[in-house]
Chain A
Amino acid sequence: MMSIQKLFQENIQVVNIGSPSFKYDYEKQDVPYIHLEWAPPASGNLLILNQLNQLRTYKDQIDAANEKAVQKIKSAEGRLIAVKKAFDVIPNMSKNTILHAGPPIAFKDMAGPMKGAIIGALIYEGLARNEKEALNLAESGAIEFDSAHHHDAVGPMAGIISPSMPVHVIYDIVNRYYSYCTINEGLGKVLRYGANSEDVIKRLKWIEHTFAPVMNDALILSGGLDIKSIITQALHMGDECHNRNKASSALFLRDIAPFILQTSHDQTAKKEVLEFIKHNEHYFLNLSMPYCKVALDAAKNIPYSTVVIAMARNGVDFGIRLASSNRWYTAPANYVKGLMFPGFTENDAAPDIGDSAITETCGIGGFAMGGAPAIVQFVGGVVEQAFQYSKAMHEITAGKHQVFTLPPLDFMPTAVGIDVLKVLETGTLPIINTGMAHKEAGVGQVGAGLVNPPMACFEQALLDLTKHLKEEHA
């Protein structure tokens, strides 16, 4: 039956948008209604609203493109297949390349932790003997700095990847893309927070010389580990796979341990490798991140799509990328709000940093907080608040991730495929669950909490999108 005739046969049910005085009239007449807690769309920004409305011309194409993007993202089947030297596997990586987190940035503009990590990496690579030499080298222009994202790679915090560093190699057997991420060093004084002391370099060397060969051999014996499956299980065990990786790291250890034992390496090396994973409850972060990266890359180059396929921060700027373009849309990064480690105050923290927001981009992390009650204290200690965040994210995404579900919310799928248009329209920003780095190099983590991307990233993306669509259709 056509819609209007159908209306005439139904009981009317109203959504009231605007004047609350009409509520009483519905009540008087027993008309079921919902009164919307309305706020001006696009936070009242008429320029943005106008642009959003202009895009309605392409609504059908955009909807179809976004559906395709979400399908692609969900289809990814990432396997951890190897641990290899970055130089050997990462595309377009020279001996002088240093990759970093977030959108591209010149060395002189980098944040303290990122500079510290680069100094450490140059010493680790043997390109410099000390901090001073490293600084000179970094400033000389002889090092090619680039965003890890440009090389199919991601890294937490400073996200530094230098040529000799071993990286996890993830392969998506469905869409046939690769992605890469370093080995998580653990907590405390670590390179990703900009620490570059002797201990840090020593650990990196151990990872290169002892850990990587054992792990790579174990992976060969395993035939590849299903990372998506671990994420799926870990979400049912209280992880959100960004800030809480306890269950996933344990699951990973359970899966890999037998193969580690089967390798022909000596007992001490194997024991050290197992101990290393066991003591690092964030080991899996460096696997959930490249899984998310490879999944999101499956949605690259889909014209008309307004789905975000990367959110990343370099400690200065926050950048996002869309499925339909290769550009970064950047704006100054926000500061994380949350819990500070004892002895530190919010003044000690660097702005939001790292590629780890790739997890939220893929529908886990902050988006899955409703399934991770153990960390809800980041949001004020109330589980309900975490539920609200996970539900609210459905208002800004193009789809649902039926494989990533949240038991406390009746197995609600997580929201996936952040839609720039919906973010702008609702004024609701993606919620990111993240750690805080000290603003000075080498101090380490000073807290953890929640942060949002700047709205300006999404505004730029919209303006660019409308401009391009208009040009194409001119």
Chain B
Amino acid sequence: MKEAAVLKNSYYDSVTLMSTTVQIKKDLNLDDLVMFMGTEMNKEMIQSVGLYQPILDSAQPNDLMLAISSSETIDDWVNKVIERLTSKKKKDTSGENRRYHTLHQAKEAMDANIAVISVPGIYAAHEAYKALDLNMHVMLFSDNVSVEDEIGLKDYALKKDLLVMGPDCGTAIINGKGLCFANQVKRGSIGLVAASGTGLQEVTVIIDRFGGGITQAIGVGGRDLSEAIGGRMMLKGIDALDQDESTQVIVLISKPPHQTVMEKMKARLKTITKPVVLCLLDAHDDEVIKNVYPTSTLTGAAVEALRLIGIQTPDLLTISPELNREINLHRNQFSPDQKAIKGLFCGGTLTAEALSILRPYTQGLTSNVAKKKEEKMSNPLISKGHNLVDLGDDIFTQGKPHPMIEPTIRLSRLLEEAKNKETAVILLDFELGLGSHDDPVGVTLDGIKEAQQLAKKQGRHLAFVGYVCGTEQDAQGLKYAEDRLRDSNVIVAKTNAQAAMIAAELIKEVA
């Protein structure tokens, strides 16, 4: 059937008519439907599509013309069409939760002062530039940022007196708030600048453990003290903490910098009036600078900083008689073949610190974080002799999360080491705090138990040494973590360096 109708004085906007035509046509199963106001032009239009009826002649511009064609008869079709035409549209509620797609939009909505960037490295520099454009400080968690971009970003930031923490910066604490991988530590008077994320975590955690507190912990990224980057952010960080009135003691943490950078740093340190603890991991420098306290371990850095604010700590790098008793209980159970320390680390800098501590006490010690050729593990996947393995190494993390986020990637290696006849000591670290796994100890306990039983079946005893890098304020809870390790017959150390010392002590007689 083909029918038409005119509704007098029923003005509808042409857009409304057009937009509802398709739906109404579908709803009523019509072959065709036109809805138009009664202008001459619209009448022509209806003629051109072959739906015109004489009844439409009478239509005026303020009258609604309806015309349909349908294979079946539809009763009361006019009302059905009008009913649908006038029904209210559903309201879109997408505006409730505002979504932000650009930094610019976000900055307009909130006066943000820090951009935390963790996008893929190829895009990261671009986002960082945009953040600096908007006068925001940058925490650049992403890695794989080019050296050129790092220089460009840091120079631009310096021009604007902004921080670029990174690239590849895992940890910072600004105004007491942790960014990315950071622990909840008390606020206080020690300020830190570090080119190492876990190094920064370790030092702040030890400071907290012994009653100190921090002002700011600024990360600069692992490459900042290379020749190319020239310590741009390290030097800026020193200036910032020097100017900061709350900071009484400054701690600098890095692997040994390039010689040219070292000279720049020393030149700067000679002009500073605040005491500075200079922690160059695994390095020795004899130059004496007034007010500068050199150290080569993270524990040493924390202890020195605490001393400078008047807090004395127990001697963490000497084995106390009490600890020695605990060590002896394990040592006495080793069988003659059990000679080796197997360190399975989640934190890269903690691995490096353990290497520097254990070196004098061991022979043939190797690690995948070693810089010296003779200490380099030929294959991190193969365990032989004393090994300190950083499981955050790319070789373990291809397509997997970092072991600080997912410590279970360590479990299979743990069992392998337990089966190994030469294994005497297994050294483990556990990182608490923001960014890290919700319960790194909890997910490892079964593995420790299995390893202990496995060794026992084969007539051996394994000594486990564990260190938990965290504070009581961390969501995971330091005490809860340590207690469960002790319950599993794990010797629990107070610092990472102490854990290495305990391991050394465990193999002392048998080595």
B-binding residues in A (CB < 8 A) = 2-5, 7-8, 10-19, 21-22, 25, 28-29, 31-41, 44, 46, 49, 52-53, 56, 187-188, 339-343, 374-375, 377-378, 381-382, 384-385, 387-388, 395, 425-426, 428, 447-448
Bound-state Cα–Cα, A428 to B101, Å: 10
Q: Which of B100, B141, B163 contacts A7 (CB 8 A)?
A: B163
Nearest A-chain residue to B99, judged by Cβ = A37
**Docked-complex contact A395 and B105, CB < 8 angstroms:** yes
**Docked-complex contact A17 and B163, CB < 8 angstroms:** no
Question: Within 8 Å CB of A37, what residues of B?
Answer: 99-101
Q: Which of A31, A36, A46, A377 contacts B100 (CB 8 A)?
A: A36
**Docked-complex contact B178 and A17, CB < 8 angstroms:** no
Q: Which of B15, B126, B142, B434 contacts A374 (CB 8 A)?
A: B15
**Docked-complex contact A384 and B95, CB < 8 angstroms:** yes
A-B contact pairs, 16 of them (CB 8 A): A10-B113, A12-B174, A12-B177, A14-B179, A15-B107, A17-B103, A28-B475, A29-B184, A33-B112, A34-B100, A38-B101, A341-B18, A342-B49, A377-B15, A381-B19, A395-B104
Q: Mark B170-201, 1 if CB is under 8 A from A, else 0.
A: 00001101111000100000000000000000
A8 to chain B, nearest CB (A): 6
Known A-B contacts A12-B177, A343-B49; A34 and B109 likewise in contact (beta carbons under 8 Å) = yes
Known: A2-B161, A12-B175, A49-B122. 11 other contacts (CB 8 A): A15-B107, A17-B119, A18-B119, A18-B142, A29-B178, A53-B125, A188-B44, A342-B18, A374-B13, A378-B15, A426-B101
Nearest B-chain residue to A29, judged by Cβ = B177
Q: Mark B10-26, 1 if CB is under 8 A from A, else 0.
A: 00010110110100000
Asked if B110 is an interface residue, CB under 8 A from chain A, the answer is yes
Identify whether the interface residues of B are mostly helix, strand, loop, or mixed: mixed
Known A-B contacts A15-B103, A340-B18, A342-B36; A28 and B434 likewise in contact (beta carbons under 8 Å) = yes
A-B contact count (CB 8 A): 190
Bound-state Cα–Cα, A447 to B18, Å: 9
Bound-state Cα–Cα, A213 to B15, Å: 35
Bound-state Cα–Cα, A34 to B33, Å: 48
B18 to chain A, nearest CB (A): 4
Question: Within 8 Å CB of A384, what residues of B?
Answer: 91-92, 94-95
Asked if B458 is an interface residue, CB under 8 A from chain A, the answer is no
B185 to chain A, nearest CB (A): 12
Q: Which of B130-138, B333-341, B356-364 contacts A (4 or more CB under 8 A)?
A: B130-138
**Docked-complex contact A56 and B44, CB < 8 angstroms:** no
Bound-state Cα–Cα, A44 to B123, Å: 8
Q: Which of A4, A15, A25, A428 contacts B136 (CB 8 A)?
A: A15
Asked if B430 is an interface residue, CB under 8 A from chain A, the answer is no
Nearest A-chain residue to B18, judged by Cβ = A339
Question: Within 8 Å CB of A188, what residues of B?
Answer: 41, 44
B499 to chain A, nearest CB (A): 26
**Docked-complex contact B49 and A36, CB < 8 angstroms:** no
A156 to chain B, nearest CB (A): 18
B228 to chain A, nearest CB (A): 18
A59 to chain B, nearest CB (A): 8
**Docked-complex contact B119 and A342, CB < 8 angstroms:** no
Question: Within 8 Å CB of B184, what residues of A?
Answer: 29
**Docked-complex contact A36 and B94, CB < 8 angstroms:** no
B346 to chain A, nearest CB (A): 17
Known A-B contacts A188-B41, A384-B94, A426-B102; A25 and B114 likewise in contact (beta carbons under 8 Å) = no
Asked if B127 is an interface residue, CB under 8 A from chain A, the answer is yes
A406 to chain B, nearest CB (A): 15
Question: Within 8 Å CB of A7, what residues of B?
Answer: 113-114, 137, 163, 174-175
Q: Which of A8, A18, A34, A381 contacts B216 (CB 8 A)?
A: A8
**Docked-complex contact A52 and B112, CB < 8 angstroms:** no
**Docked-complex contact B103 and A22, CB < 8 angstroms:** no
Asked if B129 is an interface residue, CB under 8 A from chain A, the answer is yes
**Docked-complex contact B216 and A22, CB < 8 angstroms:** no
A190 to chain B, nearest CB (A): 11
Bound-state Cα–Cα, A19 to B115, Å: 12
**Docked-complex contact B18 and A22, CB < 8 angstroms:** no
Bound-state Cα–Cα, A385 to B34, Å: 27
**Docked-complex contact A15 and B178, CB < 8 angstroms:** no
Nearest B-chain residue to A9, judged by Cβ = B175
Q: Which 9 A-B pairs have the closest CB atoms?
A: A18-B118, A343-B49, A377-B19, A342-B34, A3-B161, A339-B18, A25-B434, A18-B119, A382-B92
B121 to chain A, nearest CB (A): 11
A230 to chain B, nearest CB (A): 22
Known A-B contacts A16-B116, A17-B119, A34-B110; A4 and B161 likewise in contact (beta carbons under 8 Å) = yes
Bound-state Cα–Cα, A41 to B100, Å: 14
Q: Which of B101, B109, B125, B215 has the most CB of A within 10 A?
A: B101
Q: Which of B89, B118, B136 has the most CB of A within 10 A?
A: B118
**Docked-complex contact B240 and A10, CB < 8 angstroms:** no
Nearest B-chain residue to A24, judged by Cβ = B434
B396 to chain A, nearest CB (A): 20
B193 to chain A, nearest CB (A): 12
Q: Which of B16, B45, B113 has the most CB of A within 10 A?
A: B113
Known A-B contacts A8-B244, A37-B100, A342-B34; A31 and B177 likewise in contact (beta carbons under 8 Å) = yes
Asked if B152 is an interface residue, CB under 8 A from chain A, the answer is yes
Bound-state Cα–Cα, A35 to B115, Å: 10
Nearest B-chain residue to A186, judged by Cβ = B41
**Docked-complex contact A3 and B34, CB < 8 angstroms:** no
Bound-state Cα–Cα, A133 to B142, Å: 68
Bound-state Cα–Cα, A343 to B25, Å: 12
Question: Within 8 Å CB of A40, what residues of B?
Answer: 119-120, 123
B111 to chain A, nearest CB (A): 6
Question: Within 8 Å CB of A32, what residues of B?
Answer: 110, 112
Question: Within 8 Å CB of A46, what residues of B?
Answer: 122
Nearest A-chain residue to B67, judged by Cβ = A342
Bound-state Cα–Cα, A19 to B18, Å: 44
Bound-state Cα–Cα, A267 to B162, Å: 73
Known A-B contacts A16-B116, A34-B100; A343 and B106 likewise in contact (beta carbons under 8 Å) = no
